[in-house]
Structures are given as structure tokens and as C-alpha cells.
Amino acid sequence: MTGQATDRTTVPRRSGRPNRLTRNLSAKIASIPMMLTAVVIFLGGTLWTVLYSFTSSKLLPRLRFVGLDQYERLWAAPRWLVSIENLAIYGIFSLIFSMVIGFVLAALMDQKIRFENTFRTVFLYPFALSFIVTGLVWQWLLNPEHGIQSVVRAMGWAGFSFDPLYDSGIVIYGILIAALWQGTGLVMCLMLAGLRGIDEDIWKAARVDGIPMWKTYLFVVIPMMRPVFVTTLVIIASGIVRVYDLVVAQTSGGPGIASEVPAKYVYDYMFQAQNLGQGFAASTMMLITVAIIIVPWAYLEFGGGRKRV
Amino acid sequence: MSDRGHLKKTAHLAEVPASWESGPRGARPRRLLSTRTIVVYGTLFVAAAYYLLPLYVMIVTSLKGMPEIRLGNIFSPPLEITFEPWVKAWSSACTGLNCDGLSRGFWNSVMITVPSTAISIAIASINGYALSNWRFKGADIFFTILIVGAFIPYQVMLYPIVIVLREIGLYGSLSGLVIVHTIFGMPILTLLFRNYFAGLPEELFKAARVDGAGFWGIYLKIMVPMSLPIFVVAMILQVTGIWNDFLFGVVFTRPEYYPMTVQLNNIVNSVQGVKEYNVNMAATILTGAVPLLVYFVSGRLFVRGIAAGAVKG
């Protein structure tokens, strides 16, 4: 109440007047949940986890520092190495495929087709489903006894073998298929929005110059869509690092440890194995991975003085 | 596409000059169209089939009896339609020793989703309002932390939140989970509302100020009524997001409060007993039904929601 009263007297908002604590008091009180979330959870929680990753915490967090011990142990653990390798394979392929498939679908959708809304609905509906549902459906489709493999064999190709979920060498590709099914619709939508943002005159000019369509796409449109690509890349990449539910539902990390991912390592060590230190160290590594992706992007997009489209 | 299709298409385009103008490509629709149309539509139909296939298989499998599943292939339609798997999935499927089906998870998810959606939207819209209209010194610092925090893997913040919830006695309860959803929904929703409110004409706000309305008065009487579409978008975003959550449900609740996704995973991936694929698929559809319903009903708003949620900054 006092905030409003004081405020009414300070006529121009955002003026350079000396700041008083009571100014905008209502707004400040209303923002308390946001401040708490930002400072206590996001900032405090992150720093807390990083700090405790240098301790020997086991069942309970304890401030007994052991330097980089947890990290040394982490990088010596076969399960972590498998997780990282899986994340790298999964990450690279899902980036490439979802970008390519998403862009191609968007380009096709942009050809003044009929039933555009129907197609969009079809391509995007998996995105509304949870990773658990996605994982379980694909677990069933890839079931070796009843799924795609058995159907193709029954059709006469007896030697056909497509059994990713029970073959530790290729299990991560089985997860990749499910992830692409779930996520490419979103990429398509973002790309389509980007394509719709391209000035029509560009197409006219390319036509007048007699440049074939694929060349226009490759050398004119795609470079023009750089911001869209970068944003999409960041979105997919930060989703990749988090991948967890899908693996839990589809394979539970198996066979053996063949489809483990870092997020699952963190969860298992924090809440199952009661080895908190390992969990903290692993989650800090995840944080670093994300930082490697985000910081250059943030710098390019916001720091370099360039305007985003 | 046949020649007739092509003719119809050009005729259709001629009728609607507006959509013709807005598209990216210019004139000359007569050339090449037939071959190109075949390629375009062919690829799109193949892709659509790939996207629809899992949904089809889910539905078909859930309507078959187990003997038929063991013998037949997963793509064949059911010879004898049975709804028993659905009944069983809903009311008597087992997770461990517990055999009361998915219904418990469903109601848990309802009890989680409804308050989480309401509270997170209320808080985030007020944040957005404060950030766009009542910006106080330092507000942008908090906002920046919030946005950066959206990119931090949840795993980093899980344990600190466990400690905080344990301190206030809410760890394991439904209210604890509601708080967690509110926290993690905050960055995107705040951004959404801030951008929307910033786009509203400032004169309205100024006029209300001159008329003596305060912080809450302007929010309730002007901002909320003027922003119903964005509230709907936020609701779509939150309902689907919270319903589909698995990680927070597993970490922050006790088994009796497990949301539907967690319970579904426990039913399907439980090692005991014979695998009943038809029940599993019925349970999977039931779990996916709510977000799918939201998706099909909301249509374009959903697209807008995910675009807003996805494109940060």
C-alpha cells in the first residue's frame, strides 16, 4: 500500500531518481517467489552442488573436502565412460538427423501444400507425449519376438535382424530412433517458422536469376536462417544433455550398462547407491557440458552486439 | 498427384490471393508442378505414415487378446476386439505388490497438475507483470539468473531442492512436488508473460495509473483480462509439461503419490509375471491421452506455446 502511495508521487517510471527500498514495494513483494527461486534454487543450488562435488559425501552431504577425488573416480568408472560415449553418439546423431529431417519436412511443408495443418498435426503430436510413453511404444515396436523384426521375418526375409534394444553394440541407436520420432516435429515447426520469415523477394530474385531451388535453399535461405538454426541447435542440445526418462522407459540402461547416460548416472548415485559425491561430480560435469554449449551461443547472440531475428 | 489435382490446386490458389501473397514462392505454378508435387506429397505421406505408425500399433495392440499378440504381427488389425486390457490397465494392473491399476496414478497426476499449473501461472504472470511494468532496480538480475537457470540441467539442482523441501517438511508430499513444478516452470512462463505484457500498449497502463489503480488493481482488472490468450498458451504448456514429467515425480514423491508416468513405467517395466503387452499398451495410451487431448483440442495454440517455450530470449 505504501508502495503504491509513494509511487504515485514519482511520476516518470524508471526515472533516474535515487532508489528507495519502499519504491515499488508491491512489485518487490510480488517478486519474492522469483527472487527466491533465482537466488536460492538456481544460483545457490548450483553453487552448492558444485561445492559438494569436491567432498567425500556418501549417504549425507558432508563438508569433508577431498579435492578432485570424486572426479578422478568418475572418469575411471566404466559406467560413466559408457554414459559419456553414449551421450556423444546420441547427441551428434540426434543433432544431425533432427536438423536435417526437421528442415526437409519444413521445406516440403513450405511448398504451398494442401492439408498443411493435417500434416503439421501428424508430425507434431509425438512431441505432446512424454518420453516415458515414447520409450514404451518403441520398446514394443522394437521387441525382437513380436515387433518389426518378427514382422519382416514373417514376410519372408528370414535372416533379417533389427534388434537394437537387446544388442549392446547398437542399443543407443534404438533410443535415437525413438527420440527422433518424438522430437523432429518441434524442429520442423521452428524451421517452418524460420522459412516463413524469409522475405518473398529473395525467392523472386533467385527466380529471376535462374537459380535452381535447391541452390537457393542451400546458399541463400539456410545462411539467412542462421539465427533459427542456432536457436534450434541450442534447444536440441540442452535437451540431449538431459536425456533420462527415455532411457529409463526404453531400456533401463541395459543390456548391462550399454545404454547408460549421464543423467541416469546422477540419479542412480544420488538416490539409489547413496553415493552423493559421485552424483554431485557427475551433475557438475553435466553442467560443464551445457556451459560449453550455451556460453559461446549466448556470447554470439547477446554479447557480440548482433540483433537476433 | 494427377493433372487434375494440379489444376484444382492452381484454381484454389487463384481463388485465394491472400494466401498466395503470403507464401514464399512466386509465379509460374504451371511448370514442373506434377513431378514436384509427386515428390513433395510422396515424401510427406511417407513421413506421416512413420509418425502415425506407433500410435496405430499402440491402439491395435491394446485391443487384441494375448494369444493373438503371440501369434500375429503387431501391424495386423485385431481379429477380435477386446476392451479387457483397457479395464485391466485402469483398475487392476500391478506394480510390485500393489494391484489397483493406473487409476491411482491418474488421480495423483490430476492432483499434481491442477495446482501446479494454477500456481506456476499465477506466480509467473505476476513476475512478468512486475518485470515489464513495474521494473525495480535489480529486477533484471533476477530475471537473467532465471533464464540462465532454465538451461542448467535439473540434476544439478535436485539435491539442494531435496534438502530445502526436507527442511520445510514437504519432501515426499504432493505440495512439495507442486513447488518443484512451480520453480522449474518459472523461467519459461515468466519470459512468456514478460514479453506479452511488454507488447501491450503502455498508454493503458499509464491511464490506469492516472486513475489511481495500484499494482494489484492494474494486474487484476487490466492485465489479466487483456491477456487471456497467453494464459491459455501457458496453461497448455504447463499441463502437458507437468503431466509428462517423470524425473521430479520419482525424486520428490513417495510411492503412494507417484504420478501416472512413473506408475506406467513401473507397470510396464516390472520384472515380475508374464508380460501382458496389450495391457501395457492400453496403459501407455491412457497415460498419453491427456496431453494428446490437450494437443488436439488446442491446435495452433499448442504450436504457439512450444514455440514460445522453446525460443528463449
Enumerate domains of chain A plus CATH numbers.
Answer: 2-52 (no CATH), 71-303 (1.10.3720.10)
Q: How far is A30 from chain B (nearest CA, A)?
A: 7
3-class SS of residue A55: strand
User: In this predicted model, which residue has the larger pLDDT, B73 or A78?
Assistant: A78
CB < 8 Å to A151, chain B: 73-75
Mean pLDDT comparison of A95-99, A146-150, A160-164, highest-scoring range? A95-99
> Own/partner pairs for A215-221, CB < 8 Å, 24+ apart?
A217/A107, A221/A195
**Residue B172 near residue B223, CB atoms below 8 Å:** no
Q: For residue B138, what is its C-alpha cell?
A: 535489480
ipTM (interface predicted TM): 0.83
**Residue A2 near residue A27, CB atoms below 8 Å:** no
Q: How far is A256 from chain B (nearest CA, A)?
A: 15
Q: Using CB atoms, which residue from A37, A46, A185 is nearest to B152?
A: A46
Lowest mean pLDDT among A17-26, B50-59, B80-89: A17-26
Nearest chain A residue (CA) to B28: A207
CB < 8 Å to A114, chain B: 9, 12
User: In this model, does residue B26 exceed pLDDT 70?
Assistant: no
End-to-end CA distance of chain B: 42
Chain-chain contact of A136 with B51 (C-beta, under 8 angstroms): no
Distance CA(B85)–CA(B280), nearest Å, equals 8
pLDDT at A246: 93
3-class SS of residue B172: strand
Residue B83 contacts A where some CB pair is shorter than 8 Å: no
DSSP tag of A37: I
Residues A145-170, mean pLDDT to the nearest whole number: 82
Q: Options 1.10.3720.10, 3.40.50.300, 3.90.1170.50, 1.20.120.340; which CATH number does B103-310 get?
A: 1.10.3720.10
Q: For residue B147, what is its C-alpha cell?
A: 533464464
Residue tagged 536457436 (cell numbers): A231
Q: For residue B229, what is its C-alpha cell?
A: 490468450
User: Which of B51, B191, B281 to probe by mutation at the A interface, max A CB count within 10 Å?
Assistant: B51
The single-letter code of the amino acid at A30 is A
Distance CA(B33)–CA(B191), nearest Å, equals 43
User: In this predicted model, which residue has the larger pLDDT, B106 or A235?
Assistant: B106
Q: Is the dihedral of CA B77, B83, B87, B88 positive or negative?
A: negative
Q: How far is A261 from chain B (nearest CA, A)?
A: 12
Domain ranges of chain B: 3-82, 103-310
Distance CA(A45)–CA(B177), nearest Å, equals 17
- Up-side HSE of residue A220: CA atoms within 13 Å toward CB? 18
Chain B segment 48-67 residues within 8 A of A by beta carbon are 48, 50-55, 57-58, 61
Distance CA(A308)–CA(A74), nearest Å, equals 39
Question: Which helix (H) or strand (E) segment is B250 a member of?
Answer: helix B247-252
Q: Residue B301 CA to chain centroid, in angstroms?
A: 11
DSSP tag of A13: T
Q: Please report which confidence band the pLDDT of residue B7 belongs to, taking 50, 70 and 90 as the band edges.
A: very low
- Up-side HSE of residue B105: CA atoms within 13 Å toward CB? 35
pLDDT at A265: 93
3-class SS of residue A261: coil
The single-letter code of the amino acid at A267 is Y
Q: Using CB atoms, which residue from B54, B142, B307 is nearest to A34?
A: B142
User: Which of B132, B137, B159 to probe by mutation at the A interface, max A CB count within 10 Å?
Assistant: B159
Q: For residue A252, what is its C-alpha cell?
A: 533401463
Nearest chain B residue (CA) to A13: B134
Q: Using CB atoms, which residue from B53, B152, B251 is nearest to A287?
A: B152
User: Which of A132, A139, A152, A231 to probe by mutation at the B interface, max B CB count within 10 Å?
Assistant: A132
B253: β partners: B172
**Residue A231 near residue A46, CB atoms below 8 Å:** no
Dump pLDDT digits (tens) for B180-234.
999 999 998 998 899 889 888 888 888 998 988 888 999 999 899 989 888 998 9
